[in-house]
C-alpha cells in the first residue's frame, strides 16, 4: 500500500483498499473485469476482489427542446456495472483472484 494510503485513518476513512491487479476475462459473449484489492484495515482478510460486467446500453437524451425534438440523438455506450460474486478473502492476491474466477465459472455454467 502506498505511504499515503497506509495512513488511511489519518484521513478519517472507515476503510481503504489498494487495487493491486486488474484482469479482464470473457465468458461466452460477456466481458468481466475483476479487481484484486488489498486492504490493510482488516488483517484477517488482506486480499478481496470486486467484479464488474460490461454492458452495452443506449443513452437517450433526457430533456426535449422547445420544438419537441432532442438536441442529440440516442447513442450506444459501454458501461462497467457492478457484478455480485460471493465474498472472496485470501492471504494472497492470486488466491483471491482464483476464488473470484471459480465463482464466475460456477455462475457461467449454471446459465
DSSP secondary structure, 17-38, as one string:
-EEEEEEEEEETTEEEEEEEEE
Tell me the pTM.
Answer: 0.80
Q: How far apart are CA 10 and CA 95, in angstroms?
A: 30
- Domain ranges for the chain: 3-62+75-110
Give the pLDDT confidence of 21-32 residue by residue, as tens digits.
Answer: 999 999 989 999
Among 18, 14, 21, smallest CA distance to 4 is for 18
Among 49, 46, 56, 53, smallest CA distance to 30 is for 53
Give the pLDDT confidence of 33-82 residue by residue, as tens digits.
Answer: 999 999 877 777 789 999 999 999 988 777 667 776 767 778 899 999 99
Amino acid at each position: 500500500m502506498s505511504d499515503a494510503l497506509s495512513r488511511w485513518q489519518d484521513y478519517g476513512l472507515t476503510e481503504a483498499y489498494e487495487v493491486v491487479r486488474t484482469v479482464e476475462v470473457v465468458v461466452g459473449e460477456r466481458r468481466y473485469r475483476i479487481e484484486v484489492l488489498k486492504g490493510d484495515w482488516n488483517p484477517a482478510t488482506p486480499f478481496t476482489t470486486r467484479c464488474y460486467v460490461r454492458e452495452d446500453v443506449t443513452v437517450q437524451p433526457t430533456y426535449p427542446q422547445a420544438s419537441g425534438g432532442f438536441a442529440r440523438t440516442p447513442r450506444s455506450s459501454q458501461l462497467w456495472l457492478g457484478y455480485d460474486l460471493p465474498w472472496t478473502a485470501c492471504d494472497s492476491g492470486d488466491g483471491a483472484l482464483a476464488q473470484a474466477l471459480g465463482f464466475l465459472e460456477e455462475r457461467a455454467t449454471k446459465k
